[in-house]
Structure 1
Amino acid sequence: MTRRSAFRTRDDYRTACGIPTRWMDNDVYNHVNNVVYYSWFDTAVNAYLLEAGLLDPEHGTIIGLVVESQCRYGRAISFPEVVTARLRVGHLGTSSVRYEIGLFAGDSPDAAAEGHFVHVYVDRTSRRPVALPGHWRDALARIAAPSPSP
């Protein structure tokens, strides 16, 4: 049996987004349903893109399509906890980005969950991959994870 790797800490991420839980997020087991975690991942990524002036949902020429996602759960979250979604870029490719997100409940130093989204950026009309423009690369590099030590 393999051991599960430890979750990252708050300091492993580069930016944060506060998200209040809602009564409707809880399921019959009195914890936030797993599908909500993916919504929080999406919120964290898009909040950063909007804050950085990159995302224009209505008129932007490029859009990000999710081609991969994953979540690992560490502990349950329940309403009325406030979640802090912490974000970093794990990989910055030519037309793709791996966003890594940690979800932290309240003041807990330990992640309740962590996961990732991979977006491939495409032309809005043709849906063909496009190289990320320089200003996108600069803004995403600002929240990139440090390179591993040799």
Structure 2
Amino acid sequence: MEPSDKSLETTFNEKGELISPVLPQGVKNFLIDIDGTICDDIPNEEPERMGTCLPYPDALRIVNKWYDEGHIITFFTSRTEEHREITEYWLRKHDFKWHSMLMGKPRGGNYHWIDNHIVKATRFKGKFTDLVVKNRDVEVFND
């Protein structure tokens, strides 16, 4: 389910040096949490619930819509590697479309992501909808 390297564009900086590949214009790289975001929050300490919880219908619809529009879907979860098989089974069982999954996201929240690419963050507050643009204050490095 990985996106092909053909979907990445070769990019050069102003000095003509090769830099990290980027997605084509308009394609987003979604990193989506699982527990508490696309289904009820299931703690790692209760793995028996991972296969039986139900997805949030709006999450299933919107995630699959984004996938069908050509965006990259990666699930990023605090579930551990030992939960990969049941998690992939659950995603397939409920017909989620995705490209990859990253396990072992740090638990506890209050994330601050630092990257050499543009990062946008959206906090899930109980309702999955299409995204809208709003201006907010963000923390940045002091130039």
The structure carrying a bigger strand percent of its residues is: 1
TM-score interval for Structure 1 and Structure 2 normalised by the shorter chain:
under 0.3
Instruction: From the CA coordinates, give the structure whose radius of gyration is larger.
Output: 2
**TM-score computed with the length of structure 2 as normaliser:** 0.24
